[in-house]
Amino acid sequence: MSDLQAVLDLIDSEQENALDRLCNLLRVESISTDSAYADECITAADWLVEDLISIGFDAKRHDTPGHPMVVGKLNAGADKPHYLFYGHYDVQPVDPLELWNSPPFDPQIEDTANGKVIRARGASDDKGQLMTFVEACRAWKQISGSLPANITVFFEGEEESGSPSLIPFMKDNRELLKADIAMVCDTGMWDSNTPAISTMLRGMVGEELTITGPSLDLHSGMYGGPAMNPIRVLTRILADVHDDTGRITLDGFYEGVTEPSSQIKQQWASLEHDEDAFLTDVGLSTPAGEDGYTVLEQIWSRPTFDVNGIWGGYTGEGFKTVLPSQASAKVSFRLVGEQNANKIQQTFQQYVRDKLPPDCSVEFKSKDAAGATVMPVDAPEFARAHAALSDEWENEAVYAGCGGSIPVVGHIKDILDMDSLLVGFGLEDDAIHSPNEKYNVKSFHKGTRSWARILEALTRP
Amino acid sequence: MSDLQAVLDLIDSEQENALDRLCNLLRVESISTDSAYADECITAADWLVEDLISIGFDAKRHDTPGHPMVVGKLNAGADKPHYLFYGHYDVQPVDPLELWNSPPFDPQIEDTANGKVIRARGASDDKGQLMTFVEACRAWKQISGSLPANITVFFEGEEESGSPSLIPFMKDNRELLKADIAMVCDTGMWDSNTPAISTMLRGMVGEELTITGPSLDLHSGMYGGPAMNPIRVLTRILADVHDDTGRITLDGFYEGVTEPSSQIKQQWASLEHDEDAFLTDVGLSTPAGEDGYTVLEQIWSRPTFDVNGIWGGYTGEGFKTVLPSQASAKVSFRLVGEQNANKIQQTFQQYVRDKLPPDCSVEFKSKDAAGATVMPVDAPEFARAHAALSDEWENEAVYAGCGGSIPVVGHIKDILDMDSLLVGFGLEDDAIHSPNEKYNVKSFHKGTRSWARILEALTRP
């Protein structure tokens, strides 16, 4: 007979201690995009290694040219299946800091209208989520003396900064990481009562571009007119990526974009997604994506282009009538279906070069390009996980799309030849990547219970 | 007989002391655009008051809601004409600081291939220029015991930050400031050997605009597509201000733009302006202004639109796939002829509002709007000043246009009903508003001598 009930009971009685552990991890300022925080990333990795060892894992920090990886193994026996669990301990920058109601790295347990929440940078993305799995392992080990399956945990510290070390590390450590299936906890619930398994992920192409015009900053009175302003060039180039209907104008951009099957579309329609509430929650009312698609379709099945940052010229207090030498932007595409990420990256760079006027030049800093991923939902693990989630939440789980990009899922497929089971407990109002990020205590607690159930369900004879 | 020769001799023998005095003023970090430097602006004003008093002026600091004004008077007698001299003691910000070869507020006298220069922020714009007039007065007073004319000097500290206090102060102090004609030293030479009187100034409209879309920063994975990105809106709006030929698309924008007379065009053509060198010096080769105009015509007689600064989203190290809540820009128009600055300001704001998609709003922070100015070059003062300049530089002075905007010249006309004699000794390579600003020692010295001559020439019976 399974120990599942005892494991779930232990998770309930250990809830306060589990929260304390998570808060300790949240205090580490492991911002990966800013090299000033590199030591904090090492601290977070070391914290995880120690915590895994305390459970019984054989765990190690693996240094890389960037931030370290953490790999831990706990063997259950050659007759058991083998799962790889992936998460990331790095977090987004916290700016604008002045919009936070409490310091981002001083986690608070707060009562809200929707129950208790853990308020901190990384609470939801992804420290709280990855700890749901760690806590489930801890409880199983304590009750049974072992885990239901052979488990390899794999945590990286560069997910929010383009994962420059991830592909080399995975290629160099195929044997260390190879398993039957991967589990990833970096996605969300359908709503606060309905768990979800994500079956599609959009891919991403990220670029930073800097356009240079004059060789130095000029006075717009002395040179305005004859001297080309690189901000003018940049705004024209970025504006023309979209046409008036919201479609992207790059040559061949929509190659590989497929319409979801009518079955999938029906399932999505049956979810009765509240478009108005989705938009109203963030101060909007009108879907801004391509004409002719629902909001869910725009997020789950349509590719996008966004400018994530733009800067140039004088941006301080007051005015300065400068005609700047340079202007820059960070941009990203979200990809779907079979769109070729590398090709789109090249097409965008060529598009920019073709639109440069005389005397202007461009430099690119590329982020990893990764295509979209579609999961094999008819594999037996998906049905078992679906049942386990439905049991825990007493509500039928949803097979959902996902507008975000988790490039590691593509790398797990390409490098390790494994599919990924994407289960997560984030909510739309978690404010990930924004000030005042939070994770519901309920997500954390029932998330831990969900993984305990999934491990049992997948390994049941 | 005039004391002119003795005055010029004294200016020559006093050259080192004059440079010392200028360097003392240049050490004051009187950046007006940044409120952190407000005390430095007061220090600069006080320094000028003391220096004027040491010459014999009755001078006072006049505090305003912004940075103070300095007004000094030295009477020569009721039978003499009365001139108002205007300059500004505030300077541009110094960023990017890392591009300066020496600290911007530690003035250096450097030997260069083109002779000695004074290297510091404000050396040319406008501390060095305004001190040419002050030093000319000092020499006249010392030799003659009085000045050739009644002189009122008027220095402001907000020229680089939109002069918010200027119009109220001028309206409240008409009697204090009223004179026969104004003299302004904030323009340039035609070339390093040819002095110039500026006879046209472009006007300016400056606006800062902030576009708000979603009520908070969003994750572009979760919201990319349905959520409108304000950077996309801003780039479209800014890009569409120009058409493909470089013309500005705002309704009625070209109303009041007149073609220069054929006589003026002939004079400009006779200057044999070296377009290639003008552009090559700043890393460019192709005039970017409207088709069908020479570079000089583009700068002196055509209106422009430039984005002077743009910012939004994540601009730090690395990537952040944020879909920001806001995006902002600082923009300016240069105006010519009879273009109506207030009308263009309103037209631009309406253009922006008309292009806003649903769910987006805009806020404006307006800078003073001022139209272009055209001087009465046939007035007798202009011919006399022209002769004095030609004598000093042993080269015939040029009546030139000017691409920059000196809004005070419009205010002097509108509020005090006075024309302005615009004489300055700046050079194109002075790098005003850029790192490593300088002023040639020759500009400073012969500029002082030029004003000494002009004061004599204008008051000669």
pLDDT cut 70: percent of chain B above it: 100
pLDDT band at B52 (very low <50, low <70, confident <90, very high): very high
CA distance B180 to chain A (A): 28
Measured distance CA(B358)–CA(B364) in Å, rounded: 18
> Chain A, 66-105: which have a CB under 8 Å from a chain B CB?
92-93, 95
Each residue's pLDDT tens digit, B161-198: 889 999 999 999 999 999 999 999 999 999 999 999 99
Q: Beta strands B203-212 and B420-423: pairing type?
A: unpaired
User: Range of A56's domain?
Assistant: 4-201+372-459
CA distance B453 to chain A (A): 28
pLDDT band at B92 (very low <50, low <70, confident <90, very high): very high
> In this model, does residue A84 exceed pLDDT 70?
yes
Report if residue A322 sits inside a domain. Answer: yes
Report if residue B179 sits inside a domain. Answer: yes
Beta bridge partners of A10: none
> In this model, does residue A208 exceed pLDDT 90?
yes
Which of A199, A201, A191, A334 lies closest to A263 in space, CA to CA? Answer: A199
CB contact under 8 A, B240 and A239: yes
A355 with A436, same domain: the answer is no
Each residue's pLDDT tens digit, B190-213: 999 999 999 888 999 999 999 999
Which of A353, A214, A311, A226 lies closest to B307 in space, CA to CA? Answer: A311
> In this model, does residue A314 exceed pLDDT 80?
yes
pLDDT of residue B273: 86
Phi, psi of A370 (to 5 degrees): -140, 135
Mean pLDDT of chain B: 94
Residue A402: Cβ-neighbour burial (10 angstroms; 0-12, 13-18, 19+): buried
Report if residue B68 sits inside a domain. Answer: yes
CATH number of the domain to which A96 belongs: 3.40.630.10
CATH number of the domain to which B321 belongs: 3.30.70.360
B427 with B452, same domain: the answer is yes
A309 with A207, same domain: the answer is yes
Which of A334, A327, A325, A236 lies closest to B234 in space, CA to CA? Answer: A236
Report if residue A278 sits inside a domain. Answer: no
B14 with B161, same domain: the answer is yes
pLDDT of residue B264: 78
Instruction: Please report the sign of the dihedral spanned by the C-alpha atoms of residue A319, residue A320, residue A324, residue A330.
Output: negative
Report if residue B425 sits inside a domain. Answer: yes
State which of A317, A347, A366 marks the end of a domain.
A366
> In this model, does residue B25 exceed pLDDT 90?
yes
Q: Which residues contact B147 (CB under 8 A, 6 or more apart)?
A: B74, B76, B137, B140, B141, B455
A232 with A347, same domain: the answer is yes
Option in A93, A161, A228 nearest B288 (CB) = A228
Top-ranked range on mean pLDDT: pick from A271-280, A336-345, A437-446: A437-446
pLDDT of residue A119: 98
A415-428: average pLDDT: 95
A437-444: average pLDDT: 98
Option in A92, A93, A225 nearest B289 (CB) = A225
A308 CB near a chain B CB, below 8 Å? yes
Mean pLDDT of chain A: 94
A165 with A248, same domain: the answer is no
The end-to-end CA distance of chain B, in Å, is 11
B384 with B350, same domain: the answer is no
Measured distance CA(B301)–CA(B355) in Å, rounded: 29
Report if residue B253 sits inside a domain. Answer: yes
> Chain B, 16-45: which have a CB under 8 Å from a chain A CB?
32-35
pLDDT of residue B210: 98
CA distance B107 to chain A (A): 21
Report if residue B355 sits inside a domain. Answer: yes
**Beta strands in A367-458, from DSSP E residues, in sequence order:** 373-374, 398-400, 420-423, 438-440
A129 with A214, same domain: the answer is no
A250 with A341, same domain: the answer is yes
pLDDT of residue B90: 98
B76 with B144, same domain: the answer is yes
Q: Which residues from chain A sit within 8 angstroms of residue B370, using beta carbons?
A: none
State which of A327, A346, A366 marks the end of a domain.
A366
B10 CB near a chain A CB, below 8 Å? no
> Chain A, 333-362: which have a CB under 8 Å from a chain B CB?
334, 357-359
pLDDT of residue A72: 98
A36-52: average pLDDT: 97
pLDDT of residue A70: 98
B271-293: average pLDDT: 90
- Give the residue carrying structure tokens 């302006």: B273
CB contact under 8 A, A283 and B222: no
> In this model, does residue A1 exceed pLDDT 70?
no
Each residue's pLDDT tens digit, B230-271: 999 999 999 999 998 889 999 999 999 988 878 778 878 888
> In this model, does residue B39 exceed pLDDT 90?
yes
A362 with A428, same domain: the answer is no
Each residue's pLDDT tens digit, A211-249: 999 999 998 888 989 999 999 999 999 999 999 888 999
pLDDT of residue A332: 96
The 8-class DSSP code of residue B247 comes to -
pLDDT band at B407 (very low <50, low <70, confident <90, very high): confident
A219 with A188, same domain: the answer is no
pLDDT of residue B1: 47
State which of B330, B346, B366 marks the end of a domain.
B366
A158-180: average pLDDT: 95
Provide the number of structural domains found in chain B. 2
ipTM of the complex: 0.76
Each residue's pLDDT tens digit, B423-458: 999 998 999 988 999 999 999 999 999 999 999 999
Report if residue A376 sits inside a domain. Answer: yes
DSSP string, A176-239: HH--SEEEE---B-SBTTB-EEE-EE-EEEEEEEEEE-SSS-EEHHHHBTTBPPHHHHHHHHHH
> In this model, does residue A263 exceed pLDDT 80?
no
